Structure 1
């Protein structure tokens, strides 16, 4: 017979609902009017193990157990007796949400729900997974809180934005695992340099930021920025590698530089940009003219993108002269930009920006294709030299682009000379040498530009047989008055002769410099004295003229 068919008289007697309290997973306590514990279920006793709960006052219980947030909870009981709730942190690291409600029969019921997992998940959502620092969202929340408090108290808040210098080279050459370990070490150093109450965050990549409050500004921020530049610039040991990076720091202080979060961050970024422009490994405070400069930079950036789209760039060709025969042996292709309103913009004023904003590669490809096309129509088979930026040289499509330019123009590969600076050779030696070898296999000639200004000149001359060394103009200009410059030019010319490598002296502008260059044994010169950069038509006409220069 089913239970539903049993006569009412023989149905099992139901237990009072209060009997279920001991079995509940939620910790439950019943308190009398004086907030003393009269009942605690098993979950409550487990939560506060080691404490005799019955008869214990709520105040004493929270104090004995060193519960953080307990004082605020007790204050709320007085202020809001009909319903009190709050989050408490237990001494063993657990978190509970406590709710106190009055009972109709007198006294209170107090429940505790364990929310440790939720709290920790929420905390992780505000932490950078790699370094354990605050992430961008958490940083912004803290900055808003600090600015609101500073507005009430009249205090100041400093924001320091940091970029690591030369970090990308570590990632590119040694791999991301080494880069990640380095970032963790940077985070440790940052934390070691801060006071209690300061906030440090990783905003993404190799970008970090620090908040500094309750300090005398700008002195405190200046001291901290200098400490960070020094500390992060010291050598790191990572997986057997001795690594030297560094940092650039931009500082903005509220309320002087703004009281709004976005405005303050923007101005700290402007100061950071100035620090990087001034040579990196330093710090700069925001200054009023930085905003105007950044607007000018953005305007130039827009004009550059427009110039690329509208084909506003042109090429000029500077002749290279053989000192033995006084004949033109080739030309170097030099980019020119005549802006409709700015007039002629010097390459030094826009080439670095094209590298920053990522358009140097399409511009460089245009230069290569145009130079090959022009040179293919010249009456004499002289060489055409084209500069490659480090960004272009790292492109996996470089060899393909060179092959395409040669094929489309019909230029003999042996007439194309690619000039690379020592800066392009510093990273990833094996990949660099593989690219150079492939280009050489095409029949293209390779020249090292600005020789003597980098770090690894001699080692690369040993590893790869360059066709030409171009002596930097800084040595040429100093030859007449500086014996050291003359000695360097002499040594390079002698080295080239020993290795069978042609040497070209750049930037020859006076007859005295030319005489000194000839005396030191250089085979070729290039400069205003022997030929200024000229349009393609003039270069073609110069070659058609049978006379020598």
Structure 2
């Protein structure tokens, strides 16, 4: 039936055992992902964020990876959609937040990596009725200072049920957590409501940044978001910066912060700590 629907209306599709394979694979992966959360097969990688005015690393974004016992490292684009579809994203999101908090506490106790940690909050998580209470409980239980945390929430997530959204964001901010709007520019938003959100950062979606040096429309949109951020007195982060030419343009447009492979890909805890040691406890600099 699904195959017939996918090929268009008024279609007949004969059953074949191969049609069952994708569904079987999905069920198996969902079962294995559920087990992975329980058995700690997941791990966090971290991608740094650079402040252009100082050359300082100011934040590390926590990004989940699945270390499958037989398949090896599975990238998030292969299991995050499954987690969202199956509802596992709630328990997965809680795991990510808990582990990011614990890792930050470990670093602070070791006297290193005094950076803020950014954690992605999925739309399903944010719309969950008990999200803010669960998040605050995890923060209190792990003992992390909430000021070290930033929640990245997509633009489309926060535009649903405005009154509830504002109440949740204010509750989190009152605890000291920073809020950034992720993938800004590709969702749907109301600038009238944007001024009421207690946000600290706008993250320009990578789709605008990747062609900024050759597409005048992408440059115009990027520039507009940067000026909007300045007007709202919030930080602006350009995501997906991969080339020096993009960096130079972003400097000219007075973008405050960048993130992307030009600076560093997402890397393991070991690699983050090793890079930190290489710089003798000094921040990374890009000239």
Please indicate, yes or no, whether the TM-score normalized by the shorter chain is above 0.5: yes
Larger CA Rg, structure 1 vs 2:
1
The answer to whether the Cα contact below 8 Å between 1:270 and 1:294 also exists between their aligned partners in 2 is no
Distance 1:313 1:509 in 2: 27
Residue of structure 1 in register with 2:22 after alignment: 293
Pairing partner for 2:59 from 330, 334, 338 = 330
| Matching of residues 529-548 of structure 1 within 5 Å | 529-544=262-277, 545-548=280-283
Deviates most, 479-488 or 303-312 = 303-312
The superposition leaves residues 467-517 of structure 1 with CA deviations (integer Å, 9 ceiling, x where unpaired) of 000000000001011110011111111111111010001111111111122
Distance 2:247 2:235 in 1: 17
Pairing partner for 1:402 from 135, 144, 163 = 135
Residue of structure 2 in register with 1:171 after alignment: none
Q: C-alpha displacement at 1:541, in angstroms?
A: 4.1
Q: C-alpha displacement at 1:295, in angstroms?
A: 2.1
The answer to whether the Cα contact below 8 Å between 1:390 and 1:424 also exists between their aligned partners in 2 is yes
Residue of structure 2 in register with 1:483 after alignment: 216
Query: Is 1:346 matched with 2:75?
Result: yes
Distance 2:72 2:219 in 1: 38
Partner SS for 2:237: strand
Residue of structure 1 in register with 2:35 after alignment: 306
| Matching of residues 370-389 of structure 1 within 5 Å | 370-378=99-107, 379-389=112-122
The answer to whether the Cα contact below 8 Å between 2:173 and 2:198 also exists between their aligned partners in 1 is no
* CA spacing shift, 1:325–1:307, aligned 2, 3 Å: same
The answer to whether the Cα contact below 8 Å between 1:388 and 1:418 also exists between their aligned partners in 2 is yes
Residue of structure 2 in register with 1:518 after alignment: 251
The answer to whether the Cα contact below 8 Å between 2:212 and 2:246 also exists between their aligned partners in 1 is yes
The superposition leaves residues 516-536 of structure 1 with CA deviations (integer Å, 9 ceiling, x where unpaired) of 221211111111110111112
- In structure 2, stretches of 5+ residues that fail to align are none
| Matching of residues 107-506 of structure 1 within 5 Å | 268-272=1-5, 274=6, 285=11, 286=13, 290-378=19-107, 379-456=112-189, 458-506=191-239
The superposition leaves residues 287-339 of structure 1 with CA deviations (integer Å, 9 ceiling, x where unpaired) of 75543222222222222122122211100010011111111101000000122
Distance 1:307 1:284 in 2: 41
| TM-score, structure 2 normalization | 0.89
The answer to whether the Cα contact below 8 Å between 1:271 and 1:290 also exists between their aligned partners in 2 is no
Distance 1:428 1:353 in 2: 25
Partner SS for 2:202: strand
Deviates most, 431-440 or 467-476 = 431-440
| TM-score, structure 1 normalization | 0.48
* CA spacing shift, 1:469–1:442, aligned 2, 3 Å: same
The superposition leaves residues 61-102 of structure 1 with CA deviations (integer Å, 9 ceiling, x where unpaired) of xxxxxxxxxxxxxxxxxxxxxxxxxxxxxxxxxxxxxxxxxx
Distance 1:469 1:383 in 2: 16
Distance 1:478 1:504 in 2: 16
Task: Give aligned pairs, total.
Answer: 275
The answer to whether the Cα contact below 8 Å between 2:156 and 2:189 also exists between their aligned partners in 1 is no
- In structure 1, stretches of 5+ residues that fail to align are 1-267, 276-281
Q: C-alpha displacement at 1:284, in angstroms?
A: 8.6
Distance 2:101 2:200 in 1: 19
Partner SS for 2:195: helix
User: CA-atom RMSD, angstroms?
Assistant: 2.0
Q: Which structure's relative contact order is higher, taking Cα pairs within 8 Å and 6+ residues apart?
A: 2
* CA spacing shift, 1:316–1:271, aligned 2, 3 Å: farther
Partner SS for 1:420: strand
Q: C-alpha displacement at 1:397, in angstroms?
A: 1.9
Distance 2:10 2:27 in 1: 20
Q: C-alpha displacement at 1:408, in angstroms?
A: 2.4
